[in-house]
Structure formats: C-alpha cells, structure tokens
Amino acid sequence: MKSHHQFNYDHFIVKQNKKVDLSDFDTADTNGIKNKKAAQEALQSDIEALSEVQVLLWASAQKGVLILFQAMDAAGKDSTIKHVMSGVNPQGCAVTSFKAPSEEEKQHHFLWRPARFLPGKGHIAIFNRSYYEEVLVVKVHPKFLNGQWLPADFSEKHLDDFWKQRYKEINNWEQSLADHGITVIKFFLNVSKEEQKERFLDRLNQPEKNFKFSTADVEERVYWDDYQKAYEQMLSATSTKSAPWYVIPANNKWFTRSVVADIITSRIEALNLKIPTLSKAQLAELEKAKERLLSE
Ligand code: ATP
Ligand code: MG
C-alpha cells in the first residue's frame, strides 16, 4: 500500500454532544503543513493512495462510502471534489449536487431524495450539499417549509422541537447506514466572511470567473450570522461516533484539499479491506479454464 501524508486532524473532528462555537475554529489554519508546495505534494500522494484503496473497496464489494460536503458559497466545495477525486475511477464513484428541491421531492420525506443516491457495495457517493440543507438553508428561511410534506401542523412555538426532530431523524438514518456497512464522512468547509467577499470579488473582476458568480449569493450573504448559528447547532447535534463532522479550515484552498484527501484516504484504509482470496474449489475452476484455453 502506498504511504501518504498523515495529518493530525483530531482537532478538526467534532466530538459527539460537544457544543460547537465556530469562533473556536480558525478558518485560516494551515497547521501541520508548511506551504502550498508541501500541501500539493501531500495531496498528490493522497490522490495515489486513494486510487489504491478504491480498488480494494471495489474488489472486496462489501462496503460503501458516502462523503458529503456542506459550506457557505465560494468555500470551495466544487474544486475540492474535483481535485481530491481526480485519481478515482469514475466507474465506482458518483457525485450528486443538491439544489433547491423539485415539487415531487418536496412532497416526500426529506430523506427520500438522498436515499436514491446512496452508494451501493464497493461504491463511493459524493454529495455536493446534502439533506443537511434541510436544517441549514431551510432553518434560516423557515418559509421553505411551506409546501413540504410535514406530518404535524406546526407553528412558531413548535419550531424548536421540529428542528430537534430533524436532527434526530438524520442521526438515526446515518446510524442505520453505518450498520449496513456505509462509511459516512461529513465535511464542513469553514471559510471566513472576509475570504468569501474576496472570492466573490474575484469572480466579478475576472471575466473567466464571471460565470461562477450569482447575485443570489450576495443576497444570501446578508444572512451570514444566521447561517453560522444554524451550522453550529447542526454540528453540535449531528456529529456522532459513527458519522462525525470534520470542520476543515477553508481560507487556503491548498490546505483544504490536502486535509480532505488525507481524511478520506485514512477512513477507507481503516476499513482494512482485502482483495478477495479464492477457495480451493474456485482455484480448481480457474485451473480448468486455463487448461481449456491452452488446449484450443
Ligand atoms: P454552484 O453555485 O457552485 O453552482 P451551489 O451548490 O451553490 O453550486 P446553486 O444552484 O447556486 O448551487 O445553489 C443551490 C441552492 O439550493 C443553495 O442555495 C442551497 O441552499 C439550495 N438548496 C439545496 N437544498 C435545498 C433544500 N432542501 N431546500 C431549499 N433549498 C435548498
Ligand atoms: Mg451557488
């Protein structure tokens, strides 16, 4: 197995039942890695190691891996996915982007939409945004609940319980995924408000980046503090032993990519997967097949 850079990323993991205060997390942290060049080398070795562990995942066909990304706009979800997964065989990997839900999706339970995109045996599924939007954007804009399929008649005073109920449903669901052999890896790419502004301005100032800009993003930025609060509550309530959240500093893209690649590789390596070995009877079958071919 290829060796790869190993970060000490313990401090990025949100411990179960820990109340999260995002001001404790440094968005510009590059601890453990000296500079961009060192990060790029680490990323390269991780990309190669990830490619190898994916072969094991595929060949052993016992487990699935779900990797999901949540972040504020311009935190680098898309480019992280692009770089980190660049060595992965597309045959065993699928990316799903979660945009605003369709009418049909709204008429179902909120976990109906992601269920169809879960990884099968031997597969990696990547969610670019996810069902967590249901306790983030929807929490910041509760009016989005109108038109959703909801069991009880709820009013303002019941909303707190409503969100608690959603966290619980998510935790139960992720536990059942873990019980069925799906490794769930959840990343929050933590960018600062100032850095987001810089990146929006880049998109406006550089013609080749204009297409990435959306005026809606600037409107959503107004709710920055509400989002931070929703993220804190979500991280506090849904980081569990079997499906922990990783809060990744996102002000330096080179750092983000290296750490994310390293965590994914390490989590799949930890599954200790093996290329299947054949039984005596199966080996005898192979021997027979070989004889047939050679006697043609
Ligand atoms: P990019 O801008 O890089 O293309 P994106 O993920 O920001 O990627 P957009 O189409 O800009 O894609 O935004 C998708 C929007 O859909 C986000 O504002 C997100 O909050 C919203 N969204 C996702 N899931 C839900 C949901 N369940 N309910 C309401 N809005 C949602
Ligand atoms: Mg967007």
Q: Among 137, 189, 222, which is best to mutate for testing ligand 1, by the most ligand atoms less than 8 A from CB? A: 137
pLDDT at 61: 94
What are φ and ψ of residue 40, in 5° steps? -65, -35
Q: Does the structure show a pLDDT above 80 at 212?
A: yes
Q: What is the mean pLDDT of residues 284-288?
A: 97
Ligand 2 mean position, distance from CA 214 (Å): 7
Q: How many CB atoms lie within 10 A of CB 124?
A: 24
Q: Does the structure show a pLDDT above 90 at 166?
A: yes
What are φ and ψ of residue 246, in 5° steps? -115, 125
Which helix or strand (DSSP H or E) is residue 247 part of?
Answer: strand 245-249
Q: Distance (Å, rounded) from C-alpha 149 to C-alpha 86? A: 38
Task: Pick the ligand that lies closest to the CA of residue 130.
Answer: 1
pLDDT at 31: 80
Q: What is the per-residue pLDDT across 242-285, written as a single tens digit (0 to 9) for each?
A: 999 999 999 999 999 999 999 999 999 999 999 989 999 999 99
- Give the pLDDT band (50/70/90) at residue 239: very high
**Residues flanking ion ligand 2, Cβ below 5 Å:** 73
pLDDT at 5: 67
The arrangement of strands across the sheet holding 245-249 comes to 93-97, 124-128, 64-71, 182-190, 245-249
- Give the pLDDT band (50/70/90) at residue 155: low
* Residue owning the nearest CA to atom 17 of ligand 1: 99
* Residue owning the nearest CA to atom 30 of ligand 1: 100
- Give the pLDDT band (50/70/90) at residue 14: very high
Q: Distance (Å, rounded) from C-alpha 47 to C-alpha 261? A: 7
Which residue is it, tokens 């009016």?
143
- Give the pLDDT band (50/70/90) at residue 89: very high
pLDDT at 152: 65
* Residue owning the nearest CA to atom 5 of ligand 1: 99
* Nearest of 66, 74, 14 to residue 233 by alpha carbon: 14
- Give the pLDDT band (50/70/90) at residue 24: very high
Global pTM reads 0.95
Q: What is the mean pLDDT of residues 98-123?
A: 96
Cα dihedral 31, 37, 38, 39 in deg (nearest 10):
60
Ligand 1 atom nearest the C-alpha of 131 is 27
* Nearest of 250, 187, 196, 248 to residue 222 by alpha carbon: 196
Ligand 1 mean position, distance from CA 133 (Å): 8
Ligand 1 atom nearest the C-alpha of 220 is 18
Q: What is the mean pLDDT of residues 1-22?
A: 86
Decide if 42 contacts 1 (C-beta within 8 A): no
* Nearest of 242, 262, 273 to residue 62 by alpha carbon: 273
pLDDT at 150: 84
Q: What is the mean pLDDT of residues 220-226?
A: 98
Question: Which amino acid appears at position 211 of this protein?
Answer: F
Q: Does the structure show a pLDDT above 90 at 8?
A: no
Q: Distance (Å, rounded) from C-alpha 131 to C-alpha 123? A: 19
Which residue is it, tokens 């204009």?
210
Average pLDDT score over the chain: 94
Residues with CB under 6 A from ligand 1: 73, 78, 97-101, 129, 133-134, 137-138, 144, 214
pLDDT at 189: 98
Name the pairing type of β-strands 245-249 and 182-190: parallel
Q: Does the structure show a pLDDT above 80 at 1?
A: no
Ligand 2 mean position, distance from CA 220 (Å): 10
Which helix or strand (DSSP H or E) is residue 95 part of?
Answer: strand 93-97
Q: What is the mean pLDDT of residues 168-184?
A: 98
Ligand 1 mean position, distance from CA 130 (Å): 9
Rounded (10°) angle between helices 77-84 and 36-60: 70
Decide if 164 contacts 237 (C-beta within 8 A): yes
Task: Pick the ligand that lies closest to the CA of residue 138.
Answer: 1
The mean-pLDDT minimum among 65-69, 135-139, 155-159, 291-295 falls in 155-159
Q: What is the per-residue pLDDT across 26-36, written as a single tens digit (0 to 9) for each?
A: 999 998 788 89
